[in-house]
Structure formats: C-alpha cells, structure tokens
Amino acid sequence: MASRNRVLVPEAREALDRFKLEAAKEVGTPLTNGYNGDLTSRQNGSVGGQMVKKIVEDYENHLK
C-alpha cells in the first residue's frame, strides 16, 4: 500500500515538522525528528489530535 502521508507542498515540510514537534511538546509526548517507533499509538495519536485542534482553533479565529 502506498503511503498517504505525503506533503503536497514540499517547501512546507520543515514548517510541518516544527508544528508537529510543538504539538508533541504541548501534550508531553517525547517526539523526536528521527525514529519514534518506541512511542505508543496513544502518544502519537495525541500529537495528531493536538495538531488538528490547533488548526481548527486557528481557522475559527480567522472567521471572527
């Protein structure tokens, strides 16, 4: 199966990585730039959830 986790704008990869590390820090997940296979699904999911939460908040703030 092909990976669906690809960056559509390659120039944005660095910003997305910074955003992911920032979200991980906020939820207390020890995420690194390298291998993170030792983290649980719950830890990784909390990072993704935090990222979505921040994106939605930003969008809602721009609507006001």
Alpha carbon distance, N-terminus to C-terminus of the chain:
41
Any domain includes 5: no
CB-CB contact of 47 with 24 (8 Å): yes
Residue 52 tokens read as: 């979505």
Any domain includes 17: yes
CB-CB contact of 30 with 24 (8 Å): yes
pLDDT band of 33, cuts 50, 70, 90: confident
Any domain includes 18: yes
pTM: 0.78
pLDDT band of 10, cuts 50, 70, 90: confident
Domain span at residue 55? 11-28+39-63
Closest of 45, 38, 41 to residue 24, by C-alpha: 45
> How many domains are there within the chain?
1
What pLDDT, on a 0 to 100 scale, did the predictor assign at position 2? Answer: 58
Spatial distance between the Cα atoms of 58 and 8, rounded to a whole number of angstroms = 20
